[in-house]
Amino acid sequence: MIVRRVLSAGLLAALATAAVSACGAQSSEQPAGKAAAPAAASAPATAPAAADAPPVAITDPWVKTTKKGMSAAFGTLVNNTDSDITVVAGTSPLSPKIELHEVVDSKGKMIMRPKEGGFVIPARGTHQLQPGGDHIMLMGVTEEVKPGAQIPFTLTLKGGETLEFTAVGKDFAGGKEDYQPGKDMDMDKSHG
């Protein structure tokens, strides 16, 4: 008898907890407009860092080493919110001009060009910046980037928020052809 009653009480408690969690996930309470609040309420058992995760982040950011001129920065953009996030611009003291690029197949030739609309990081998802794909294009590197160099970057999001990070200089030999301006683009002229 006693054991059964205790079990029932436990079950009820569990059900009640589940109900509360469900409510919390439905935006009934949003203290200080923190986007991360619903996730923290509904999934406390997941990675502890998730509770304090920034809305947007970048993992393993790096810059291709170069003497000067053009280079590119890469990494994995992470969106910790329930809405898509768009990166619309970037800056770095390393290069006065920076563009957000994509690599596309143009008549059988891989060329890069400014990505219209910027980089979209899907809600709760990631967006890869990698050689041969989307990248942060440094149009005119002003000083040599050596392996291990620490290069500060700031990305601007569509809403005006910013993401600051430090990318590490890294040698990368492959995929060089991807970073040569295509005939159709003539970047030197359009950005000179």
Q: Could you list the residues that contact Cu ion (CB under 5 A)? A: 101, 112, 137
How far apart are CB 101 and Cu ion at their closest, in Å? 3
Give the tokens for residue 161. Answer: 């928020």
How far apart are CB 122 and Cu ion at their closest, in Å? 22
Nearer to Cu ion, 94 or 112 (CB): 112
How far apart are CB 112 and Cu ion at their closest, in Å? 4
DSSP state of 115: P
Nearer to Cu ion, 36 or 185 (CB): 185
Cα pseudo-dihedral 81, 85, 89, 95, rounded to 10? 50
Nearer to Cu ion, 69 or 152 (CB): 69
Residue with tokens 């502890």: 48
Give the tokens for residue 38. Answer: 């619903």
How far apart are CB 100 and Cu ion at their closest, in Å? 9
Nearer to Cu ion, 69 or 159 (CB): 69
Give the tokens for residue 163. Answer: 């993401």
> What is the C-alpha to C-alpha distance for residues 49 and 27, in angstroms, rounded to an integer?
21
How far apart are CB 76 and Cu ion at their closest, in Å? 18
Nearer to Cu ion, 39 or 98 (CB): 98
Residue with tokens 């030739």: 109
Phi, psi of 40 (to 5 degrees): -65, -35
